[in-house]
Structures are given as structure tokens and as C-alpha cells.
């Protein structure tokens, strides 16, 4: 099975990269870009027998740093 894992910064965590992207979009003449948050996407190909609990553990133990990041899992 294929999974997509989306990792985003938690609310309240400042995102300097997102801010820089926001300013760059403004610099290109796009108006009304009120906020940008940068994140990461991982696409995993896993054995069908992989449990949801194992996927959750992969996210918590490595793919996301839960001090600053949230994650969500999508089945593809």
C-alpha cells in the first residue's frame, strides 16, 4: 500500500521559511498572500500487512518532530 504523510508546523510555531516565501510571492506581484506555512510530504510504500499503529509510530519516532510538528496520514 502507498501512504502519503503530511508534516506541518504546529500552530504558534513561527515559520521563518514560510515568511520568506510569503515575502517572495509579494515581491513577484501576487497580492493578498496573507500567510505561508512550509511543510513536508513523505510518500511511503509499505507492505499491506503494516498496521496503522506502526505507521503512527513511524511518524512519531522519526518523520515528524512532535515538539514542533503535526502529521496526518493519507492512503493513496
68 binds another protein (CB under 8 A): yes
- Residue selected from 25, 36, 63, 73 as contacting another protein according to rule CB under 8 A: 63
Tell me, letter by letter, the H, E, C secondary structure of the chain. CEEEEEEEECCCCCCHHHHHHHHHHHHCCCCCCCCCCCEEEEEEECCCCCCHHHHHHHHHHHHCCCCCEEEEEEEC
46 binds another protein (CB under 8 A): no
**What is the contact mask toward another protein in residues 10 to 39, using x (rule: CB under 8 A)?**
--xxx-xx--x-------------------
65 binds another protein (CB under 8 A): yes
Amino acid at each position: 500500500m502507498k501512504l502519503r504523510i503530511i508534516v506541518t508546523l504546529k500552530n504558534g510555531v513561527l515559520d521563518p521559511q514560510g515568511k520568506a516565501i510569503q515575502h517572495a510571492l509579494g515581491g513577484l506581484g501576487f497580492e493578498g498572500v496573507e500567510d505561508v506555512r512550509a511543510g513536508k510530504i513523505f510518500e511511503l510504500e509499505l507492505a499491506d500487512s503494516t498496521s496503522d499503529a506502526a505507521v503512527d509510530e513511524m511518524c512519531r519516532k522519526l518523520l515528524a518532530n512532535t515538539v514542533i510538528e503535526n502529521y496526518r496520514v493519507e492512503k493513496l
